Each structure stands twice: as C-alpha cells, then as structure tokens.
Amino acid sequence: MSEGKRVAVMVGSLRRDGYSSLLARALAALAPASLTLDIVSIRDLPLYDADLDDDPPEAYTLFRDAVRAADAVLFVTPEYNRSIPAPLKNAIDVGSRPYGQSVFSRKPAAVVSQSPGAMGGFGANHAVRQSLVFLNMPTLQQPEIYLAHSDALFDEDGAIAEEKTRQFLTQFLHAFEAWIARTGA
C-alpha cells in the first residue's frame, strides 16, 4: 500500500488491562508501518437511545467522528456468555444510527476474539460478524482469529509471549492490510 491507513480498533471489554485491551495494544505494536491502529474508546458511550438522534450526546459525536475518520475497523473482543459484551453491541448501535447515517458502512473490517477458555471466543467472533453483514462492512474471512487461553498469551510487559503467536498475528495484520487495499479503502 502506498499510503498509511488508519484503523479504528474497538475493544469489546471495558477493562483497561483486560486481555482484549492487552491484545489490541499488542496488535498495534505488531502492525506493519502502513497501518496505524488507534483504539477508539467505547467506555463513555451512553446506551443507544433513538430519542437522542436529533441532539446526540457529545460521547456519541466523538465516537462517530473517530470511526468516520478511519479507513477500516478492527474489532477485538472477549466472549461473554457465548456472545459479545454489551458495551461493544452498544457501540455498534451508536455508530450505525440514525438509520442511513452509519459511520461503518463500506469500511473494511476484521474480527479478533479471545477467551481464557479453550474456544477462543468463537461465539463472540461470529456474533460480531453477524452485525457486520447488516452494517455493510466487507469483512476479512481468513485468517480467522480465535485466541484461546488468553490468560497465558502475554509476557510481563503485555507483549505476546510466544513467537509462533506473534508470527500468526503478524500474518493476520498483513492479510488485513491487503484486504483494506483490495476493498478500496
């Protein structure tokens, strides 16, 4: 890619140092020079309320503007009860409304899920993907990223501990880079 692309990273967990937050920061560190991964906070978003569409709270506007300015979106999420955390679903709703004014439409996307359990957030990954279909976001299909046993992924500095996992995530980021270029962002 000839110019750098900005990727809005939406972290599904509100925990500042939760595994998804650590993973998002580790991915930013592994990203090729042509991608800038910026975490867009969802922490302060009030619950989506259509009654606020005509006069949205500042948090809605700041969030929407940050996503609108990005070339692509990367979702990094844990799995809660075989689905996505409520704050991430709320962020998706805030960004997709009012109807017809979605900040997500046509932005290339990718999904990374993690879980301390053995399934790697498979349910959450596919729940996000289900929303992305409606949001009209061309979504990277391969490689799929379901990181199991995320409680053992990181070293004491928050970096990915195993070289094989770093290589896998680096390959994923290069595939996402190519996907962004291919989809015309």
Provide the percentage of residues in the chain whose pLDDT is more than 70. Answer: 98
- CA 6 vs. chain centroid, Å, equals 13
Q: What's the rounded Cα separation, in Å, for the pair 20 and 22?
A: 5
Res 93: pLDDT: 98
Q: What's the rounded Cα separation, in Å, for the pair 145 and 169?
A: 8
Q: Give the pLDDT band of residue 184 (cuts 50, 70, 90).
A: confident
DSSP of 45-108: PPPP-GGGTTS--HHHHHHHHHHHH-SEEEEEEE-BTTB--HHHHHHHHHHH-STT--SSTT--
Size of the chain, expressed as the number of residues it contains: 185
pLDDT in tens, 17-56: 899 999 999 999 999 999 999 999 999 999 999 999 999 9
pLDDT in tens, 119-147: 889 999 999 999 999 999 999 999 999 99
Res 39: pLDDT: 97
Res 1: pLDDT: 39
User: Is residue 70 within 8 Å of residue 35, measured between CB atoms?
Assistant: no
Res 78: pLDDT: 96
Res 165: pLDDT: 96
Question: What is the set of domains in the chain, with CATH numbers?
Answer: 5-182 (3.40.50.360)
Radius of gyration of the chain (CA): 16
Tell me the whole-structure pTM to 2 decimals: 0.96
Sheet arrangement for strand 145-147: 35-39, 5-11, 72-78, 109-114, 145-147
